[in-house]
Amino acid sequence: MQNPPASPSIARLPTTEEAEIKLKPVRISLRSRFIVWLLRRFLRPMLGRMIGGSDVKIARTQLFLAARVCKDSSGLAVDYRVIGRCPGHFIGGRHDISKCVVLWLHGGAFILPAVPDVHVRAVARICKELDAVGFLPDYRLAPFNKYPAALDDCERAYRGLLELGYAPQRIALAGESAGGNLMLGLLQRIRKAGLPMPSCGVPVSPGTEMGRIHGPPSRTLRMRQDPILPMAALARVGEMYAGGMDTSDPELSPMYADCSGFPPLYLLASDNEVLLDDTVLFARNAKAWGVDVSFEVWPVLPHAFPLFAAWFPEVKQAQDDIIAFMRKHLGKQG
């Protein structure tokens, strides 16, 4: 690994008012704004109660969400398979190593599973447009499995794809929220193990700081307006997932990571979410390490919005942007 850059430019915490952040020029409909209001009014309090509930309540929520069957897989076959000692949803029928593969690490505050009618639906559309297959690892969840169980499973999934014969330059890595955190941790694991890097990565609204519930600043500045994330309740997530581990470890808090050797990254976030500055700070650090970073901030829409095409018609454009980024880099190295 290289020595750290002389001035990584992360000493002063940013806010969305800084000139470097320019909102994507997209019109958000009144319908979408109303749905955002409904989420803030009903979903955010419900998630707060669930996170603060007993282990039994969390387990019931995990079972409920995992049972939401995907109603639209863009015509692609979906199966539950084991790859690299990690089970998960495989999209695209049989293994075909001539195709590109999208390895998507789902979010859910490290305690919620992939929701097939949300995660599989979104990844299937991306795979359909790329003529690719996809895999969503069903990594082990907190509070029943603490760090590093989830990250270990994601590493096993990546190694499993390589063992099946998928060329690393034909693998696109992505993840939203906690999955974005795991994605950035996985890139560190890949480098540490001397494995070949994937062609590119797409962290969507990643959480990159696990040790400070009160910072970066957007966590307090936007905690009342975020439509989904109950900021105060998320303090328990660090306890459930990280336990007694050092939360300044870059595998837990990628904001502090050595990003040397990372592939091109395309980061997305919303100006309406508490984790906006998590994304901004990580993007700054990655750029300081010489990573090819693209970064877009969308207005109004909620945390991890590229998954919610069924709710917000504008999300199709966000998914198209992700597809274009992956196609560019998969084609460049394929």
Alpha carbon 116 to chain centroid distance?
A: 16
Q: Which residues pair with 268 in a beta bridge?
A: 204, 296
Q: Are 137 and 154 in contact (CB under 8 A)?
A: yes
- Which residue, 297, 248, 292, is CA-closest to 25? 297
Amino acid at 285: N
- The answer to whether 45 touches 230, Cβ cutoff 8 Å, is yes
In 3D space, the residue among 306, 331, 328 whose CA is nearest the CA of residue 26 turns out to be 306
CB 306 within 8 A of CB 158: no
Residues tagged active-site = 177, 273, 303
8 A C-beta contact, residue 279 and residue 217: no
In the numeric block, the tokens 């307090």 are attached to 220
Tokens of 249: 């470890």
Two structure tokens written together for 124: 């299937």
Cβ-contact 142, 177 below 8 angstroms: no
The rounded distance, in Å, linking the Cα atoms of 151 and 181 is: 9
Q: Which amino acid is at 192?
A: K
Asked if 274 contacts 218 with a C-beta cutoff of 8 angstroms, the reply is: yes
